[in-house]
Each structure stands twice: as structure tokens, then as C-alpha cells.
Structure 1
Amino acid sequence: MIFEYIKFKNYRPYYGTQTIYFTEKNPKFSPFNQNIVLIGGLNGAGKTSLINAIFVCLYGRRFFNKNEYSKILDSAINKKHRNEGGTESSIELCFKDSTGVYSIEVNFYQTRTGIEDKITLYTIDGEGQKMESSSSSEEFISFIDKKIPKEVSQFFIFDAEKIRDLVGQHDAKETIDAIQKVVSLDLYRTLSKDLIQLFNTETKKLGNLVKDDELANIRKRLEQIQNELEDNDKKIDEIKMVTDSLHEQKNTLDKQKRQKFISTSLSKQKISELLGKKKANLVSIQKGIETFAKTELLKLILKKPIDNLKSRLQDEKEYNNVLSHNSNIFKNYDLFAKELIKSDVNPPLTDEQKQQIYSSGKGIWKKLNNIREKMVNTDLNIIHDLSDGDYRKIISHPNTTTSNLSKLLDDRYKAENDISNYEIQLESAPEEVDTSNEDSKIREIDKDIAIQLANKKLLLIQSNKLRDEQGKLTREYTGKLKTKNDNSGVIHKVELLKNLLSATNEFISEVTILKANLLKVEIENILNILFRKKDLNRIEFDSKDFTLRIFDEDDREIDLTSRSEGEKQLIALAMIWALTKVAGTKMPFVIDTPLARLDSIHRTNLVNSYFTKLNEQVIILSTDTEIDERFMKDLEPHLVKSYVLEHDDEEEFTKIREGYFEFAGGVL
């Protein structure tokens, strides 16, 4: 599966229609594996909106909780577009796989009650034409989950800083289920459940034909066991719902704690940082005012006199042009009238008569030749005598200033006011944060979770005993039925199902061990590539609970949750790469802020040995301090496309531009 492009139309920070292409239409030959799309953006430029847009297209509401999706809907239409009267926005995600090319379009509409959404699936033919696929929401969910199931999306589209939480949750049931789904073990277990259901159905058919009391009692007990197993499964599902709710409550409390820590860290440290930036900005503004006084002030003073001079010169030019035009159109008449008046007549004409003849003749000439004479509204006194070159030089002289003094003065006032406010805030900023209330509630929740898990363990033990009894009774039941010749065909079918079920369970056991061993080998190899720590001596990947264990040089198990944030991130990334290699999947990876918590050596290992080999398509969202100029040079041979998200603070929207951040050496 490969992402082709994502198109935004007035969605969240993206104003107008903007597109990010993840593939090259006409790729050039390269000896390097070109699998990386690099998207740069500072904090707040729209990287999170981009990742959430992918989740919205693929999974819609079911990926987010109610409050999260409500916030997405509230800001789905770009602010500037709404101010201009716009009421719609959209996202379009195009991807292809071995079955064809598809496009998912999500449209957002402003209604009286709020913003609503609509998801439409299209197929795209060889000529690029889109055809709407008429599918229900259930069919759409089934279609997507066959491509990239929601439960495993966390391994392919993720924030690299948050993926380290996978290390702390690697033994959680949800994580284990997701890992097993990636390597297809869930399919084998589904097959086993289907075979058990078919076996029970066929066994009931046999029971209906056999009237023997002993067989009837066995059948009755098998039905009781099946009912008890189903009841246990329901109880386990209920426990899961309760534990899920408890985990959600715990996560909410953890978020509240983190928010308190964040707000505290933003106090003195952040206010001091902001205060320094404001003071530097004030110095820059003052320099701008001084520059204006040196270069633009004289222009501002002379602007009006120069404008008046230009206007006067243009009026004189137009007046002279009219006089010249009128003189030229009567040139032939003037020659004729001049010769006519010179003629000798008797008696001679007076000067007044000659003038009358000239004026009357001019009117007749004008009428006969259909001449249109330009009119002059007022007589203009010509006071300037300029050459054409001097006239053009004055008219074309620029008479605008490049600086806005009023804005500079406003900015200076605002900066001085902000500095005063920050200095006041700095004096009263808090030093400590109290999370005792949240810690107490979390401890209570942990106790409740432990109780639920203990109950679940008892139910699983009981279910295992029931299944053992079920297997024993089934063999006894089948053996007795073999003596019934009338039922030999059905008995044979049940026997085949029993053998098939046994072989399937044996296969599941073997393939589970195989997958676990493969994951162990791959994770170990990848950690050796990415890590420089000598205390990671060996690893185990348990085939029973699918959990990762790492041991130090003294063969003591390492507490993964106590490792540094950077190490946990590397371990999580190693698990993801190993899952990809073992599963053989060709999913696109979208990784946000991949290098934020890592030192330079680990960053180099990731850039050179991880991203370029991870899969066929790796989309990296980075700030300018992560993929910097040095790492950009390492990635450049592997790039398919690169973009930068530039947020215009004044216009309040983000523009997508091809390329990357500007470094000292230029734009890459």
C-alpha cells in the first residue's frame, strides 16, 4: 500500500486548495533506495493536522473519542475561509495497492446545528477518472480494515515521541493483540474458533440421531460446558470493558498531571525565554525606526510636492497634445486659406473680411471632411519647458516609501507592553506542582485494575479446565458413535474436523513460537544497529505472552520503563521495524518528530540505517532542529519529495511549499 497524495481544500490551517504528493509521476533512475518523503514544519504549522487528516480519511469518528472528534469538526473549516463566507472544506487521501487505486474524500459542511462530515470512497481507473463506490459504512470499515486495520495503525502512523509509550505498555493485552494481528496470528486463531463452532454444530447433529442414554448424557454435559465457556467469554469481555474504562480514566489523570507539569515548566523558564525574545524583537523594531529616519523620511516629506509636479506636467503635456492635434488636422486648410486670401480682388478685402472668410471657410472645411476637433476646457499657462527625456524621468520617478512608520511605532508600543507584562508574570510564576490528588486516584484505579485482572485470570483457568473436559468428552463421544454404522458418514466428518482442529492448534502453537523467534532475532539485530549501549546483552520475546524482555551483562532483566526517553523510543522503533520485516507488510509509514529526544549518534543511526531501509514509503514530519542541514544531505539521495509547511501568522493560514527549510547554505 502506497499513499499517492493528500489534498486539502480550506481544511484547518490550509487555506485554498493545496496538495502534498507522496510519489513522483516520472521517477528518474537512482542507485539509492528512494523511499522518503520529508515534510518540514515548525510547531503550530500544521503537522498534527496532517496526521489527523490521514486518520480521519481512513477511520473517521471511530479512531477518536467523542471530545477529540468534536474539536476536529469545530475547526475543520479554515478560519480565513469562514471569514470570507465559506461554509465547506474537504480532505482527499489517494492510495494504491495490488488491487487498484483508491481515493477517500471527507467533506465538511456548516449547518445550523454545527459542522457535519461525509466520507466517500472512489476507485480511480487507468485514465485517472474517479468513480464513486456505493458502499455502506460497514462495507467501508471492512474495506479499510483489510488494507490497514485500525488496531495496528499505531505501528505505521505515529508520533515518534509518543511511540515510546509502547515500551511501557508492551505487556498490555491491547498491545499484544495488535502485535499478533500484524503478524497474522489472529487469523489463525479465528480459524480455530470457526472449526470449534463447526465441530460443535456437527456433533449436535450426531447427537440428534443417537438415542443412547449414555451418549445423551455426554451431549448434555458438552452443551453445559459450551454454555459455561460462553458465559466465561462474556464475563471476560465485560472485564475488558471495565479495564478499558479504568485505563481511560487513568490516562485522563496522567494527562492532567502532564498538563500541570507543562504549565509549571512554562512558568519561569518559558516566560524568561519569551521575555528575551520580546526584548530582541524590540531592538529590531527600534533599528527599523532608525533606518526609516535615515532612508525614507525625506521621501515621505517630498512625496506630496513631487505628486503635484507630476500632475501639473501631465496636464501641460495633455494641453500641448490637444493644440498640436488641432493644428495638424487643419494644416491643409490653412495652406489653402493663406493662398486664397493673397489673391487680388476688386475692390480689395479688408482685414475683417479676410478673417470672416477664414473662419467661415474653416467651418465648411470641417463639415465637408468630417473633422472632429478636440476641445480645450480651459486655457492653460505653460510654465515648464522640458525635453522628452526630462519629462519621462520625472514622471517615472518612484515616489513611495518601503516602510510603514505607523506600524513600526505600534509594534514598538506592543513589544514594550508585552515586556512589562512578562516581567510582572515572572515575579509571580509558580515553582512547584501538586499532583497528590491525581496520584491518589491513580493508585485506586491500579488496585481496581489488579482486581479485574485477577478475576480474569481465574476465569481463564476455569475455561482451560472446561476445554480439557470438553476435549475428553468429545473423544469419548466420538468413539462411541463409531460403532453406529448408520452414522458413519457424519462420524467421519466429525473425526476429520477433530483431526483438523488438532492440527490447526498444533500449527498455531508452532507458528506462534516461530513468529516470536523471528521477532526476537530481528529486534536483536536492529537494536545492535541503533544502540550504542553495552548493557543490552541479550533479549527474549516470549511466545506465550508476546512480550519483550532485555537482559544486561549480569543476565538481569532490565526494567524497560526506567530507561531514558530516547532509549525507549529506539526500542519501540526497533519493535516496529521487526514487526514489519516479520509480517512482510508493505504499509506506508508516517512518523512525526522522529529525532526530538535523541542524541547526535542515535540520530545518525536512525537517519542512515533506519528510515532509508524501513519500508517502501516513509513519510517524515520534522522540525528544523531535527532533520537539519547535515542530516538533510544524508537523506537527499533517498528523497522522493520534500515539502515545508510555512505558517503565515498575520494571515493565520499555512502554505505548503516544495523544498525544505532555509539553512545557511541555502534552501534545500
Structure 2
Amino acid sequence: MIIKEVKLKNFRSYEDETKFVFSPSGEKNIVLIGGENGAGKSTLFEAIKLCIYGPITYGYQGHNSNYIAKIKSNINHNAYKEATMNAYVGITIILTEGTNENVYELIRHWTLKDKRLVETYEVKKNGNVLTGEAENYFENYLTSLIPPNLFDFFFFDGEDLSDAFIGRSASSHLKESILKLSNYDTLDILKRHLLQYQRSTSLSSEKLKDLEMEYNLANEELSNNKSTLKSLEFNLEEAKADLENTTLQKSKLDEDFRNSGGLLESERDLLVSKQNSLENERTNIYQFIRDFCNDTLPLLLSEKLLVKIKNQILDEDSLHTYKSFKNRLDENIIRSSLIEADVIKDPTLDLSNVPSLILSKLFNTGRLNNVKTIHNLSNDDKQSVLSKIDDILNNKKSLSNIINEKYSRSNEITEELKVIREKISSSVSENVLKEYLDANLKLNEKISQIKSQIQKITSEIENLKEEINSSEYKLKRAKNAYLHSLQGSETLKLTNNLVETLDEIIFELTKEKIHEIEDNFIYIFKELIRKDNYIDSIEIQTNFDTTLYINKEYSSIEVLNLLKNLGIDDVEKKYGSRFLEDLKQFYPSENKKELLYNVENKFRFELLILRTKFNINDFSKGEKQIYILCLVWALIKSSGVQIPFVIDTPYARIDETHRDLLTTKYLPKVSNQVIILSTNEEIDKKLYSTMRNYICNEYLLQFLDKERKTKVHDGYFFEV
């Protein structure tokens, strides 16, 4: 999400209509808002949240009287002096939805009607007003996309960060932050309901007996199911062994039969298939030769007659054309044509011999006078007959070659069939074949039965495993219910165990996210800190405590002395769990006891690089602030959520050494849009000069004491 614009009027100290433009531009993603304390910086961002979430901003579920009273107190007092009271907060945001960037304009407007405050809410999408279901859908969509508690995470006060991420509540705050960003915060709600339920539950002695019986029955059911599973798994192994033996018997039978000269069923089928294919091919060859002898050969033998027929057809065609010309050509047509062409002038000129003269030039009239019409074919028949005759006359040699090839292939097929029939007929005796086929049939039936048995047992095992899972769940539920009801004094203890289990579940769900946070933290921390090889890794533990590590070199003697003097548990507590993890790389061990034994009894002189715990309290104030900001950066980057990052007094407690790095390495990368609230003492001229390359917009808020309102100027302290 990108905040493009913010508009306010008569909201708190913003009496006049005020507009802020926040749009980032290229690499310039920082909006700098300066102002003294009380100038209206916090009010601006309360207005943004109010515009988006409405009553939820103040913890109300709807437009109740408390919410209306809160809004009334937020409206500037001077607004009520006007003839028509008019107040509003509005924002324009850009949401990336799929491949599109859509612009949404949201505005909450307040007016008075019959002395009652009335709120209207309007949403425009790309300039078009959303109404009815479309508006409701957008409200739900925006709330699910950016829940209010997640929105709060992106608003930080630099002064308060230390309290949140260092100290007694650091692990719980980190856990809450990770759960919010991973959408697992509902598990905490589940824990609270669980605790409330456990405290409010009390059972009678008779109910306790019922729970005990239910627990015993569930335990017995699980035990029976596990016993049955063990038996089925044994039967499955036996069936698999039987299948393997039977398959080997069949392979031996096939091998013996083949060695005796017999053909396996698959081999015989292949030969029979080949025989049928060759016989079909030979039948097609014979049919081709018969068709050739019936249709083409007689004509091929009568070549002279074919030539004579062809000439007769062509002569008949010429005679037909000649007659058509003769019937249409007369003296009058020729005379009129010549006069029109201005060839002759005298219309009485004798042209009676001209038609016969023209015809004699165009046709062989002497030959045509002797032609008699015999065939009188149509144009289609004439073309078909001539094409057939030409095909026969022009392809005599190729037709002869084709016939010869067919006869040759027929002879080849005959020889191949002879060989195949000999192979089929030269197989073993009928008795041997019958014995083989009977034995093979029995083995195939046995293999099929065993496979069916294996499939059945496997299915029973799968179903039984599901029943066992259900029985285990039932037993666990019955056991928990029974134990929780044994005595009221145990309720809190058992509830704590359940809470610990939920914490373990939460940690498993967020494990990958935690690794990503650790990697992101180390990356940005090394960018900002000004000391080489200062911190090498970070560990977020199951309870969400954080531990920093630095790689240190130890001699094997030093490690041995540490373990002897402190004990392995205290070494883990003082130097960190990863110290022991690294030590196991040099002395492979399954547990602490084995590790201690291996170090003492398999000692060798060498240098070891081991990750060693670093105490966060050894940081300077500025380094602690860097640590916290890096942890926040890692959380935001790992969440993948694109929300503007707003921070009030970001340079609190940051020494001058790290301010430039925070400005150039951190703020431009923490989010696509960074909004900084600052005083002139925090961001001075020197730091402002460094930051200016990343600033897209800057404003100065000035509170006018006399008018009791906020005035907004373009530019920062040094620009106004």
C-alpha cells in the first residue's frame, strides 16, 4: 500500500482544509514531517487510521454513542461556530491488485443534523464511487489485507522502541510482532480462552469417574489397535516374502522351459502376431496383382489400340470445334467487322469465299472431313479417359517394376512364414508344453492372490493407522480432561502445559519465518554497525528470546577447562546453545552427556571456531538502538507486507557515527514509503543534507498558539 494523499479539515488542530502529498518518486521514498512537540504530527496519523478503520480505531465495533462522543471531541472547536459544521479526514491510497495498480479515495465526513453528529463514508475506485455491496466488500477486503493491529506495527516511536525489544517484555513483544506479521496471532486468543475455560470448569466426583472410564477405554482401544497393527505388519512382511519366492519360482520355470527348447507364452504370441501380419501383407500383394491384371494389363497389352483411341478422341474434339466455328462464321459478320475496323469501305464487296478461307487456315479441313464421330464423350469423360491412357502409356516401365517388386516381396514373405512355422511347430512335445502351461497358470494365480492379499493388508494397515491417530487423539483428549479434573489445584499447572504446547506449535509454524528474520537481521546489522566481525549471527529461540553470537577462536584445552570448571549446562547458559552445536561438529555426539565424554576422552590439540553468546546489555545506547531498528527492519522485510513505515524520532539515542548509515542504508530500504516525524534538534542541517537525496516530500507543522490551530508549510525547518 502507498499513501498518495491525506486531506483534513476541522480535525483536532487542523482547522483549515489541509492537504499532504506523500507519493514516492523513484528512489526518493522518504516523507519528512517536521514540527515541535504538540504541533500535530501524531494527529495526522491518527486521522489516517481513522479514515481507514472508522470505529475500530478506538476499539469500537460500530457507530455507537461512545464512538460518536470520541469524534465530537476530535472535531475542532471553531467548526461549531460556522453556520454549517463541516469536518472530514480523507486519504488516497494505491493498492497493487494482481498486475493492476488501483487508486482508492477514502473520506469520512461529519456534519450536524438536528444537533446530532452524522458520519458519511465514501470510497472511490479509480474515480468511480463504490456503493452497496461493492463498498462493503472493499471495507472487509481492506481490513483483511491490513488488519488494524498490523497497521499499528508499522507506526513506531523511536523513544519507546527500547522498552519494546530490550528488557523483560522483549520476548513477548517479539513473539506478538511475529505472530501479527504471520497471521498467527489468533493462537494467543485461543490460549486466553483456554485459560478462562480451565479456570471456570469444575467437575463433580461422578463426572470424574466417567472421565476416568473414558480415559481407560480410550487407552485400551489404542493398545488393541497397536497390537492389531503389529500383527498386520508381520503378515504383510510374510506375504511380501511369499511373493518374492513365488516370483523366483516362475522365473526358474520359464528359464527351464526355454532351455528345453520351448517357447514362452509371450514369445509364441509374438511369433503368431508376426505370422498374421505377414499373411495379411501377402494377401494385400495378391489382391494388388489381381487388380492390375484385371484393370491395367489388358490395356497395356493393347498399346496401339490405346494410341488409336486417343487420336480418335482428339479428332472428335477438333471436329466439334470446327463445326462450331463454321456455324457461326458467315460473310455478313466478316463484312460488318471489317467495315467497323475501317479495313474496307465498300459494303457491296464480295466476301463469300472468306469464311472457307479462314477455316482452312485454322483447321485441317481435309482430315476433318474424313473423321466420323464414334465416342462422343462429355468433357469430363474425355479428360478422364485421356488421363488414364496417358498414365498407362507413360508409365509402362514403372508399372512393370512395381509388379516385379510385389512378386519379390511375396517370395520373401513365403520364406519368412516358413521359418516362423518351423519355430512354432518345432517347440517341445505336447506333454512338456502342457506341464509347463499348468505350472505357469498355478504360479500366476498364486502371484495374483498374494498381490491381492498384500493390497488388502496394506489397505487395512492404512485404515488402522488412521484409527490409531484418532485413538491417540481421543486418548490425549480423554487424558487431558481426566487429569485436568483430578483436583482444582492442578488446573493452573495443566493449563500452563497446554500453553507451552501452543507455544511450541506457534514456534514450529513460524520456524521458516524466524530463519528469514535472522538472516535479514544479520544483513542489515552488518550494514549499519561500524565494527568488523562484531556480531556474526542471531538466534530466536522457542520462547522467542533472542541471542546474539560472535565467532570466537578457542583452543581445545580452553574448551575442556570450561566444561570441567562450569559444567556443560552452565557453559550452554553462559556461551549459548550454538556454542555446543558447533562443538558437536568437532566431537560428533547425540546428547550433552556423550559430548562431554567425547571432549574428555577423545581429546586432541586443535583450534576451534565456536559461536559464542554476546550479551545485548554490553551494547552502548546507540548500538542498542541500532539492534532494535535492525530487528524491526528484519520483521518488516520478512513479512512481505507493503505498508508505509512511520517512525517518530528515529534518531533517538543514535550516536553521530551511525546516523549517516541509518539515513543511507536503513531508511531508504525498510519500506517503499517511509514517513519520518522529527524535530529540528533530531534532524539538524548536516543530517538533513545527507537525507535530502531520499526525500520525495517535506512539510513543517507549526502550531499557532493564538489561533489554536496547526498551519502546514512546504519544506523543512531549514527550507521554510
TM-score (norm. length: structure 1):
0.48
Which protein is bigger by CA-based radius of gyration? 2
